[in-house]
Structure 1
Amino acid sequence: MAGSWTHIRLSNRWRLLLSASVCFSKLSCKEGHSGPTHESMQAVFDMQPFRPAVNLSNPTITNISFTLYAVLGVNEKTQILTTFLWLRLYWHHEFLMWDPEECDGLTKISLPVKNLWSPDIIVYEFVDDDVSQACPYVYVNHTGHIRWDRMLRLVSACNLEIFSFPFDVQNCTFTFGSYMHTSEKILLHKCTLSHQYTSGEWELVDILGETSILQFGIDEWDIITFWVVIRRRPVLYVVNLLIPSSFLMLIDILSFYLPPHSVDRASFKMTLILGYTVFLLIMNDLLPSTANGTPIIGIYFSVCLALMVISLLETVIITNVLHHSSMKYQEVPHWVRVLILKHIANLISVTDLHQICQYLGDLRAHLTSLQKESELQNQWCHVGYVLDFLLFRIYLLLISCYAMVIISMWCIWISQT
Structure 2
Amino acid sequence: MTEKDKATPSPYLSISSAGWVEFRNDQVVLSTCKMHVYKFPFDIQSCNLSFKSILHTDEDIQLHYQENNTLITRLSREVMHTQYEWLFINMIVTNKTNRLNFNQTSVVYTITMKRRSILYIVNFILPVLFFLCLDLASFLISDTGGEKLSFKVTVLLAVTVMQLILNDILPCSSNKVPLIAVYCIGIFALMLLSLLETILVMHLIEKDSAAQDNETSRDQSTDVNCGDKSNPHRNLEISDSHCASVCDAPAEEMQSVIKEGSRSKLTDVSFAVEKVSDEPGATEKPMNRLSSNRKEEMKSGYWTRVVKIINRAFLIFYVSAVTLFLGVMFIMWNSSEDDDG
RMSD of aligned Cα (Å): 2.5
AA of the residue aligned to 1:267: S
Residue number among 47, 55, 62 corresponding to 1:180 in the alignment: 55
What's the TM-score once normalised by structure 1's chain length? 0.56
1:237 and 2:101 equivalent?
no
Q: Distance in 2 between matches of 1:373 and 1:151?
A: 91
| Residue 146 (structure 1) aligns with | 21
**Which residue identity does 1:315 align to in structure 2?**
T
Distance in 2 (CA, whole Å) between partners of 1:319 and 1:142 is 94
Distance 1:147 1:265 in 2: 76
CA shift, 1:327, in A, is 1.8
Pick closer, same or farther for the CA change 1:386–1:233 going to 2, 3 Å.
same
Q: Which amino acid aligns with 1:294?
A: V
* 3-state SS, counterpart of residue 266 of structure 1: helix
Structure having the larger proportion of residues in helix: 2
**Residues of 1 paired with 2:334 and 2:128: CA distance?**
19
Contact 1:188 1:211 in 2 (8 A): no
SS at match of 1:382: helix
The Cα shift of 1:371 comes to 4.0
Structure 1 residues 221 and 323, CA gap change in structure 2 (3 angstroms): same
Q: Which residue of 1 aligns with 2:154?
A: 271
What is residue 383 of structure 1 aligned with on the other side? Answer: 306
What is the CA-CA distance between 1:286 and the residue it aligns to? 2.1
Secondary structure, counterpart of 1:255 in structure 2: helix
The one-letter code matched in structure 1 to 2:113 is I
Q: For the residues of structure 2 that align with 1:209 and 1:157, how far apart are their CA atoms?
A: 18
Provide, for residues 179-218 of structure 1, a one-character-per-residue CA deviation record: whole Å limited to 9, x for no partner: 1111110011113623022221111111111223122x31
Structure-1 residue corresponding to 2:218: none
1:214 to 84, 89, 98: 98
Q: Higher relative contact order at CA 8 Å, sep ≥6: structure 1 or structure 2?
A: 2
C-alpha distance in 1, partners of 2:209/2:65? 84
Q: Which amino acid aligns with 2:325?
A: Y
Partner-residue secondary structure (3-state), 2:56: coil
Q: Distance in 1 between matches of 2:338 and 2:110?
A: 20
Corresponding residue number in structure 2 for 1:155: 30
Change (3 A) 1:148 1:328: same
Residue type at the aligned position of 1:411? N
Relative to structure 1, the CA distance from residue 157 to residue 279 in structure 2 (aligned partners, 3 Å threshold; closer, same or farther) is closer
User: Would the aligned equivalents of 2:38 and 2:174 in 1 still touch at CA under 8 Å?
Assistant: no
How has the CA–CA distance of structure 1 residues 269 and 133 changed in structure 2, closer, same or farther, with 3 Å as cutoff? Answer: farther
After the TM superposition, which residues 221-370 of structure 1 pair with which residues of structure 2 at under 5 Å, given as runs? 221-290=104-173, 292-328=175-211, 370=293
Is the Cα contact below 8 Å between 2:36 and 2:173 reproduced in 1?
Answer: no
Structure 2 distance, partners of 1:158, 1:241, is 26
Structure 1 stretch 205-214 or stretch 396-405: which is displaced more?
Answer: 205-214
**2:8 aligned counterpart, secondary structure:** coil
Helix, strand or coil: the match of 2:28?
A: strand
Report if aligned partners of 1:171, 1:228 keep a CA contact under 8 Å in 2. yes
The structure-2 alpha-carbon separation of the partners of 1:263 and 1:141, relative to structure 1 and needing over 3 Å to count, comes to same
Q: Could you say which residue in structure 1 is the equivalent of 2:42?
A: 167
1:132 is displaced (CA, Å) by: 3.4
The structure carrying a bigger strand percent of its residues is 1
Tell me the amino acid that sits aligned with residue 5 of structure 2. Answer: D
Q: Quick one: structure 1 residues 393 and 325, their matched pair in 2 at CA, closer, same or farther if it must change by over 3 Å?
A: same
Deviations 1:42-81 (A, max 9, x none): xxxxxxxxxxxxxxxxxxxxxxxxxxxxxxxxxxxxxxxx
Counterpart position of 2:252: none
Alignment of 1:123-134 (within 5 A): 126-134=1-9
Q: What SS does the aligned partner of 1:137 have? A: coil
Call closer, same or farther: CA 1:207–1:283 in 2, change over 3 Å: same
Instruction: Say whether 1:403 aligns with 2:287.
Output: no
Q: CA deviation at 1:280?
A: 2.3
Q: Which residue is equivalent to 1:202?
A: 86
Aligned residue type for 1:209: V
